[in-house]
Amino acid sequence: MSAKDSMAKEYFADNARFADLCNNILYGGREVILPENLKERDTTEVLTALGLDKKTIAMQKLRDIFKNASIKYTGKSYVVLIGVENQSDIHYAIPVKNMFYDVMAYGNQVKETAKKHRKEKDTATSDEFLSGFTKEDKLIPVITITVYLGTKEWDGPRKLSDMFGDVDEELLPFIPDYRINLLAPREITDFTGFRTSIRQLFEVLQNAYDKEKMQEVLQNDEKFSNVDRETVEAINLFAGTDIDIDEKEEVIDMCKAWEEQKNEGRELGREEGRELGREEGREEGRIRQAKVTALKLQKKGHSIEDIAECVDFDEETVKKWLVS
């Protein structure tokens, strides 16, 4: 597992950030899903099926994050399963990948329901017995959210049909489609709905390709003066910045750190320029001295080869000096 994968899983697994993420995608920023109503689920999806040779085939997939969400909204209570898949790079087959996760989650619900009925022997008809599911049984809805943590614009597919070639339009109504729930920082137009520091992460990712825009964001948003350590570490990793983090601090003033970094860069550039100037000056002085020495040696009758060796320059360069 790469450093980016590990960081993303740990970062968004936090219930406050997870709830903030889901509320913005699913409820337009309204605080509907609460951190205390989230419960971890096993991220390993295992589904078994019977193959053509009557042997059992086991399929296993590992989600990034998977939680049980109890939601109380508009006077009713709901339960949904929400998975988050993090992408630091564009995935050009993401609809198939996410669809497979969801199918396995639904398949497991059916399998567990069938197991329960077999144990309790409570199926009323042969149809229910064979399907392992009764007319009264219900599935828990599964939602998968793709969080893109790259700095480029997302140009991958957004639904299964985007991956098709030419298809007879008369057939399209019979082909089930699958749409991904994508959060891409470059596409966010309003950050005010975010209640946690994932807002700062996404704002930086949106502007990471342009240093001037990054400077403008840091200067105009006072929230950057008080950013938690984990978010700054995530910003450094995903946006490619190099914000200095004091080991003793849990909260970082990114505005100040960014300005100090710029000043250090300017001073380093000036010092490098001064050193380059000194080196160029020393080299020019060495060449002038070598020319003087070469002329003196020529007058004494030394060969080009001897002169070149003496002044430590190649023979072609020495020849040019002596004929100029």
**Using 50, 70 and 90 to split pLDDT, how confident is the model at 240?**
confident
- The tokens for 189 are 């137009």
Pick 203 or 312 by higher pLDDT. 203
Per-residue 3-state assignment (H helix, E strand, C coil) for the chain: CCHHHHHHHHHHHCHHHHHHHHHHHHCCCCCCCCHHHEEECCCEEEEEEECCCCCEEEEEEECCEEEEEEEEECCEEEEEEEEEEEECCCCCCHHHHHHHHHHHHHHHHHHHHHHHHHHHCCCCCHHHHHHCCCCCCCCCCEEEEEEECCCCCCCCCCEHHHHCCCCCCCCHHHCCCCECEEECHHHCCCCCCCCCCHHHHHHHHHHCCCHHHHHHHHHHCHHHHCEEHHHHHHHHHHHCCCCCCCCCCCEECHHHHHHHHHHHHHHHHHHHHHHHHHHHHHHHHHHHHHHHHHHHHHHCCCCHHHHHHHHCCCHHHHHHHHHC
pLDDT at 128: 86
As a whole number of angstroms, the distance between CA 50 and CA 58 comes to 9
pLDDT at 276: 59
Q: Is the dihedral angle over the CA atoms 85, 25, 150, 201 positive or is it negative? A: negative
Quick one: average pLDDT of 21-31?
Answer: 94
Contact between 178 and 1 (Cβ < 8 Å): no
pLDDT of residue 318 exceeding 50, the answer is yes
As a whole number of angstroms, the distance between CA 23 and CA 193 comes to 9
pLDDT at 34: 95
From 63-77, 82-96, 195-209, 236-250, the region with the lowest mean pLDDT: 236-250
As a whole number of angstroms, the distance between CA 178 and CA 134 comes to 26
Quick one: average pLDDT of 126-138?
Answer: 88
| Bridging pattern class, strands 142-148 and 76-87 | parallel
Q: What integer best gives the mean pLDDT of the chain? A: 84
Q: What are phi and psi of 65, to 5 degrees?
A: -140, 140
| Interval 38-82: pLDDT, tens | 999 888 766 665 444 556 566 677 889 999 999 988 888 999 999
Contact between 182 and 154 (Cβ < 8 Å): yes
Instruction: Indicate the residue type of 302.
Output: H
pLDDT at 194: 93
Greatest mean pLDDT among 176-185, 220-229, 287-296: 176-185
| Interval 248-260: pLDDT, tens | 788 888 877 766 6
**Using 50, 70 and 90 to split pLDDT, how confident is the model at 271?**
low
From 101-105, 191-195, 303-307, the region with the lowest mean pLDDT: 303-307
pLDDT of residue 267 exceeding 60, the answer is no
pLDDT at 236: 87
Torsion-angle region of residue 29: left (phi > 0), alpha (psi -120 to 50) or beta?
left
As a whole number of angstroms, the distance between CA 171 and CA 263 comes to 62
Instruction: Indicate the residue type of 107.
Output: G
Quick one: average pLDDT of 187-207?
Answer: 92
